[in-house]
Structure 1
Amino acid sequence: MDPRQVTGVYGELSGLPAPVFAHVSEEQLPELRTYTVTAEWSQSDLVRGSRLCYSQQWTLIADSNNHQSIRTVLPPGPCVPVSGELLSGLSPIRALRAVVRETSGHQLLEIWDRHGLRKCLNLTALNKHGRVYDDAQFGCLSWSECENKLLYVAEKSKNTSIETHDGESACRKLLVCVIVPKQDRSVYCEDWGEALTNKSVPVICVVNLQTGSVTVLQGVPPDVSPGQALWAPSSQSVFFVGWYHEPFRLGLRFCSNRRSALFKLDLDGNCEYLSGDNLSVSCPRLSPDGSVLIYLQGRVFGPHNQCLSLRQLDLKSEKTSTLLDVVNRPQTGEFAGVYEALPPCCWSADGQRVVFSSARRNWKHLLHVIYICLSDLSVYGSWKLLTVQKDLMVVCCSSPNTPPTLVRLNAHAHCIMLKYSLLGSKCLSLFPYETCCDDNLSLSSAGLDFGAVLVKPPLYEAKTPLVVFIHGLCLLILNYRGSTGFGQDSILSLIGQIGSQDVKDVQTAVLTALQMDITLDPKRLAVIGGSHGGFLSCHLVGQYPEFYRACAARNPVINAATLLGTSDIVDWRYTSVGLQYSYDQIPTAEALAAMLQKSPITHAAQIKAPVLLMLGARDRRVSPHQGLELYKALKSRASPVRLLWFPEDGHSLSRVDTQADCFLNTVLWLHQHL
């Protein structure tokens, strides 16, 4: 196993682009109608050690009198690199393109039309706010109806500035040092945790494109952090989600259980509360005619990733109703609930339908709000909706043996028949055979379903090792009870049962796979996983020391008791062991004992399998000292262990160079010990 060969395989695999954003524009010609589909793709480049973004366009030609009938899809245009862009958005009428770009330490707002650059504002020099938010949690870039204003979210300015005679800001670092008291400059400032470092006090900003002025909207309640803002009808007010940050901020990344509410704020600073109390809300989406606002709603605290309800607010009557409720225990083939964010554009043109994608068992499906599944699993495994505009759906399709592919779908208003065509794909030919996947590992325990996907070469001449990949050679990908896609009851069943129920589910699935497929080698088994998957990987090699031959864990939870004071999601430490959480919680001996008892560190003395640990030094969710704790415990017993330390990476270990390093080391580790 040559490391250069492994690196070459990884380079080809990681270089496969994935679509991340799509937009559809329309133009009516005398005898035909054209649609332009613009897609933005992300691609890793190992030479630069970074991710590149590029855009590509397709032209679809339809009959003038029947726009649902696409006659021709023209070959795509060239791939155009999109460098330094943080946010972008197309206006609905004139197809103006707004871009927030990072250049030489400054953030610029650019407005482009078909003739080139129309306007450019240096947001940093204007000094009205701090950095613009470009994350999926708070960030937004919304055009007003008149297309003369833009709405976005940025960090509140921390500088004190003075105005010169010509009106330009003359704030200087020296002046700030003099004006701001030293004792205030050193005060600790909370932020929103993992992947949201230095994002602390967001503000809603409006830029007037005619005057070039930027205004920070006033009137947001002081105890909430606003985000996901969009214009209300007539563009005289805005809707936004506000996350409560008192008494202190808890991590928001991957957490749909944080207390938040829906608000309406007019440009004069009058703020109106629109949703219920002690709830979690997100993803407000306005209907095309501006009469209805839909949003997702969930519980506060408890499991971080939960089944959500889809709510509808009639803006005329101000009445709220439930479109889709939480699904507790779906039957096979039934709608399993909503588990992920709505796409930015999800309404049909007539405003009568909402389309979204969500997990159902082991796959993601396209769904109508009327519970109808649109996905055809005979073609692709999982479907993720990027946008639906002009009644054209642009979807990213993928499966364990199919790279991300862009697909255009046509859906009639009252018909479920779909016509689709590929807009962008790249064949994956890394091996001299095709990879197949089976979805027949449907398992059940205590009346709750869980499942796994087995990925393997189609033909065997000898026994083949099995790698158990928890939470998402042969690969068994596990979704134990507590995973999304199987209903809220399944998620709640894991509360108080971590380290036992989830471990037994994984072991049951592995034994089932070995019984079903005699080509799998029961003497060459390995387990890999990250975060809670790393937690389970370490549990498995500790609880079943004679069963597994190797383990590779990324940022694993090792000791929930010692993690308690070092994680940005401290609430989960209590919830996971079955204890109620409150902000004023003080650890007790009993609570710490429960956390320790359910942690892999209690089984460290039994571990025999060689363990590879991969840790991000900037991880704020699972402190890297968790992995170090296991590393020292294994080293003290002369157990085979190897630790990779990534000083510039966080919990997801998502840097391009980090991912390449982890892939190479994991492959060589498994090859060495299997």
Structure 2
Amino acid sequence: MEPRQVIGLFGQLSGFPTPVGAHVTEEQLEEVRIYRLWGQSDLVRGSRLRFSQQWTLIADSNNHRTIRTVLPPGTCVLLSSRSPVQHLRAVLKDISGHHLLEVWDHHGLTKCFNLTTLNNHGRVYEDAQFGCLSWSLCENKLLYVAEKSKNSSGEDLDGESGDRSVYWEDWGEALTNKSVPVICAVDLQNDTVAVLQGIPADVSPGQALWAPDSQSVFFIGWYHEPFRLGLKFCFNRRSALFRLDLDGSCERLSGENLSVSCPRLSPDGSTLVYLQGAMLGPHSQCLSLQQVLMMLDLSSRRTSTLLDVVSRPQPGEFAGVYEALPSCCWSADSQKVIFSSAQNSHALFFLILYRSSGKMIKFADLSDPSQVYGSWKLLTVQRDLMVVSCSSPNTPPTLVLCVPLRFSVFCPPAVLDFGAVLVKPSRPLGETRTPLVVFIHGIFMDFWCCWVNYRGSTGFGQDSILSLIGQIGNQDVKDVQRAVLTALQTHASLDSKRLAVIGGSHGGFLSCHLIGQYPDFYRACAVRNPVINAATLLGTSDIVDWRYTSAGFPFSYDQIPSAEALAAMLHKSPISYAAQIKAPVLLMLGGRDRRVSPHQGLELYKALKSRGSPVRLLWFPEDGHSLSRVDTQEDCFLNTVLWLKQHL
């Protein structure tokens, strides 16, 4: 395959739009409107686009589930939120460096605020970690999160006189320049924008929403003392649920030394649910679903556990919650919570029924086993209509509109097990035996691909996740190797002499371990920002806590590296096996990676070069840990395909 053909294929595959968000309105009995936000890569611009579409589904008068007409897409937007009753639309736009907040109704633009020229704060947050655009139930107020102004009242953030050289901590990888967020309230009746006061000084607020009385705000606060740890992909940071009155009084509603996220208020304002997990430890863990019942007012609230952490799921049992709740997850009657989560090697969505007392009475799997999709991700629930993104390894994301009338029997998970997904080409390749690519943390054409969810992955219970602590470089490596051997033994058409391994981050860590521990087994390797030496990574990563935890050592903020800990980190790292590596290695490194320093890959590059081992290094100076720039992804895809073609 020529490079031009490879790039053409990448353009085709990367051009599939990916669902980002959705909103549903029911204008009348026979008409339903779906507003859908998509993300899509554009190779010509070299950037990632966001656009919205609007579908108007007009049902047959005798059957309200039969679509008679689908109207064409609407106009493009960036970030938007719709009010619950009047369906007013708030839109945040970035135009020539200015953040504009617009409010639209059915007739057109009704309000526009230039948030930049108001100079109340810095840039508005649009990330999923802190960002929000939340309507009050009275639909006269909006909330959003922005960076605190460094020049407010003529002072810097710490209240001292200005100094351009002062170092300001931020929240790490992919959250650069996000340091001190503030919650901002927009009063649409008085046309005012105010920064809310009273948030504890040691807390960074985000994910804010209005309380039912519209006179107070719920938010998640992440503690940033004594210093900030990276938040991207890390749902284990110390945080709490707070309530802030507009007069400035603030109280914590959740427990101490926990990690919480995703507060979601029921339509009738009686119940608030949120996710809760352990502080520190693995980045992604099994979470509990908590609820705050507000009886007559906020002062008489009661907090309880709706779904607990699942340690080791038994046959026929639910395997746990591992993912964020959709922005709208309540049924119209405020009696059901609907969500999606990883279950074994699939993502399914589920329904919880409970009485107003808070006691759960039924749990059900809503995904349709007759469909070809392996993954069902719930995007929103509104007026009991569910918008779901469905996909599988050979099917791009598809939008599905569901009505929760029927549900199937839950599929029993395995007990402290792990799984793998094996994907083969859709057409014969003209060969009797085919190469296999082991894809860790991440399909390539003309190869079979094996994706492995080793023990420690989400979807198999909390015990499975915790089993990896102190066992990195051993248990996870053996799990992957066992999956590959099983695939070879099960499928005679696979060529055991042409095996390659690909991975990024910890997947890159495992890939390099595999070619080092099994040097005569694999014939090629391609890795993106791999962890090579955990000991030398200790002082450069934004998630220093994981470096200790993964090696089996407790973490504390005041920890000083010991010889024992550094020796263990080195022993568990791929660099210990570098002298045994025979497979050609392709390294792809981001110069601005703050999660895994690019010097990790450079360390392996020099070790291999010094021994005359075949190695190639691709350097992307403007990219970070995810190597997510469109031009970077195109370059990585092309070079990886050519590397595999050359060596397999």
TM-score range, shorter chain: over 0.9
State whether residues 60 and 67 of structure 2, in contact with CA within 8 Å, keep that contact through their aligned partners in structure 1: no
8 Å contact kept, 2:145–2:183? yes
Instruction: Give the partner amino acid of 1:520.
Output: L
Shift of 1:33: 3.5
- How far apart, in 2, do the equivalents of 1:160 and 1:54 lie? 35
- 1:399 aligned to 2:383? no
Give the stretch that moved more between structures: 212-221 or 568-577.
Answer: 212-221
Q: 2:526·2:585 contact (CA, 8 Å) conserved in 1? A: yes
Secondary structure, aligned partner of 2:70: coil
Contact 1:160 1:180 in 2 (8 A): no
Q: Secondary structure at the match of 2:365?
A: coil
Partner of 1:587: 561
1:541 counterpart = 2:535: no
The offset of 1:377, in angstroms, is 3.7
- With structure 1 as the length reference, what TM-score do the two structures score? 0.90
* Conserved? CA contact 1:58–1:73, under 8 Å: no
* CA separation of 1:283 and 1:603: change in aligned 2, threshold 3 A: same
The residue number in structure 2 matching 1:41 is: 38
The size of the alignment, in residue pairs, is 624
Cα drift, residue 457 of structure 1: 2.5
- Across the aligned residues of Structure 1 and Structure 2, the Cα RMSD in angstroms comes to 2.0
**Following the alignment from structure 1 to structure 2, what is the Cα–Cα distance between the partners of residues 273 and 180?**
28
Deviation per residue, 1:113-162 (Å, 9 max, x gap): 22222221110110101111100010000111222211111110112468
User: How far 1:331 sits from its partner (Å)?
Assistant: 3.3
Q: 1:79 Cα shift?
A: 5.3
Match of 1:113 in 2: 105
What SS is found at the alignment partner of 2:569?
A: helix
CA deviations 1:382-425 (Å, max 9, x no partner) are 0000000010000000000001000000113xx4379xxxxxxx
Structure 1 counterpart of 2:510, one-letter code = L
Q: Distance in 1 between matches of 2:555 and 2:369?
A: 41
Equivalent positions of 1:453-602 (< 5 A) are 453-457=421-425, 459=428, 461-472=431-442, 473-602=447-576
Q: 1:131 aligns with which of 119, 123, 126?
A: 123
Question: Contact conserved, 1:106 with 1:122, CA < 8 A, in 2?
Answer: yes
In 2, the alpha carbon distance for the partners of 1:347 and 1:659 equals: 37
2:65 matched to 1:70? yes
Counterpart Cα distance in 2 of 1:242 and 1:362: 32
1:664 maps to 2:638:
yes
Q: How far apart in 1 are the matches of 2:325 and 2:14?
A: 27
User: Equivalent of 1:102, from 81, 94, 98?
Assistant: 94
Whether the 8 Å contact between 1:327 and 1:337 is mirrored in structure 2 is yes
Q: CA deviation at 1:381?
A: 0.7
Distance 1:351 1:640 in 2: 61
Letter in 2 for 1:123: L
SS of residue paired to 2:364: coil
1:145 paired residue among 137, 149, 154: 137
> Cα distance, 1:187 vs. partner?
1.1
Q: 1:327 offset after TM fit, Å?
A: 0.8
Following TM superposition, by how much is the alpha carbon of 1:88 offset from its aligned partner in structure 2, in angstroms? 1.1
Pairwise CA distance, 1:43: 1.1
Q: How does 1:212-251 map to 2 (within 5 A)?
A: 212-251=191-230
Structure 2 residue identity aligned to 1:22: A
Q: In structure 2, how many angstroms separate the alpha carbons of the residues matched to 1:51 and 1:213?
A: 33
Could you tell me which amino acid in structure 2 is paired with residue 190 of structure 1?
Answer: E
The aligned residue for residue 166 of structure 1 is none
- Given that 2:368 and 2:408 are in contact with CA atoms closer than 8 Å, whether structure 1 keeps it comes out as no
Deviations 1:64-91 (A, max 9, x none): 8x9x942435224235333xx2x31111
1:364 aligns with 2:347: yes
Correspondence list, 1:188-337, <5 A: 188-316=167-295, 317-332=300-315, 334-337=317-320
Unmatched segments (≥5 aa) in structure 2: 353-361
The CA deviation at 1:378 is 3.5
**Aligned residue for 1:26?**
26
SS in 2 for 1:505: helix
Q: Is the 8 A contact 2:237 2:259 kept in 1?
A: yes
Kept in 2, the 8 Å contact 1:382–1:399? The answer is yes
Alpha-carbon distance in structure 2 between the residues aligned to 1:348 and 1:161: 45
Mapped partners of 2:173, 2:317: distance in 1 = 35
Please state whether the residue corresponding to 2:645 is helix, strand or coil: helix
Structure 2 CA distance for aligned equivalents of residues 63 and 15 of structure 1: 34
> Which deviations, in whole Å up to 9, do the C-alpha atoms of 1:591-611 show, x marking residues without a partner?
000000000000000000000
Contact 2:242 2:254 in 1 (8 A): yes
Q: Does 1:8 align with 2:5?
A: no
**1:417-457 deviation per Cα after TM superposition (whole angstroms, max 9, x unaligned):** 79xxxxxxxxxxxxxxxxxxxx9xx9x8xx62000000002
Tell me which residue corresponds to 1:416. 407
- Tell whether the 8 Å contact from 1:58 to 1:74 is kept in structure 2 after alignment: no
What displacement does 1:63 show?
7.6
What CA distance in whole angstroms lies between the structure 1 residues aligned with 2:36 and 2:109? 20
Q: Percent identity?
A: 74
State the Cα distance separating 1:332 from its structure 2 match: 4.8
Contact 1:143 1:231 in 2 (8 A): yes
Q: Which amino acid aligns with 2:116?
A: T
Shift of the alpha carbon at 1:211?
Answer: 2.6
**Inter-partner Cα distance in structure 2 for 1:669 and 1:34:** 52
Partner residue in 2 for 1:449 = 417
Give the Cα separation in 1 of the matches to 2:449 and 2:182: 45
Dislocated runs of 4+, deviation >6 Å: none
Residues 634-657 of structure 1, C-alpha deviations (whole Å, 9 max, x = no match): 011111001111111111111111
Measured in 2, the distance between the counterparts of 1:332 and 1:126 equals 58
User: C-alpha separation between the residues in 2 aligned to 1:40 and 1:181?
Assistant: 44
**Quick check: 1:52–1:81 contact (8 Å CA) kept in 2?**
no
Letter in 2 for 1:118: T
Once the two structures are superposed, what CA deviation does each residue of 1:301-348 show, in whole Å capped at 9, x if it has no partner?
Answer: 111110000011112242211111111112355311100100000000
8 Å CA contact 1:54–1:79 kept in 2: the answer is no
Q: CA deviation at 1:371?
A: 2.8
Mean Cα displacement is larger for which, 375-384 or 649-658? Answer: 375-384
Deviation at 1:95, TM superposition (A): 1.7
Deviates more, 1:365-374 or 1:493-502: 365-374
- More deviation, 529-538/117-126: 117-126
